[in-house]
Amino acid sequence: MSAIEEAVKTLNVAIDALEAKLAERLADFTHQDDTVDAARRQARAARVHAGAASEQLADAIADLKALIDDGDAREV
């Protein structure tokens, strides 16, 4: 086998290895994109739940203030 044929075979092996690494990296990026998308969905859901909890907490605080004010008014 000539040196050129040997070089071509070596180059083919190197290109195959490079393509395999590239495919692996692209798969990693796809997985990362999926993970980021999932995290964004979870953050949006958490924001909605936090908003609802905030409103419920505000209502509870208002109720407590009303009870305290009512209790203070009865003491007078």
Q: What pLDDT was estimated at residue 76?
A: 62
The pTM assigned to this predicted structure is: 0.54
CA–CA distance from 65 to each of 10, 27, 52, 59, 70 (Å)? 80, 56, 20, 10, 8
DSSP 76: -
pLDDT tens readout for residues 35-54? 999 999 999 999 999 999 99
Q: Please, what is the average pLDDT of the chain?
A: 91
Between CA 50 and CA 63 the distance in angstroms is 20
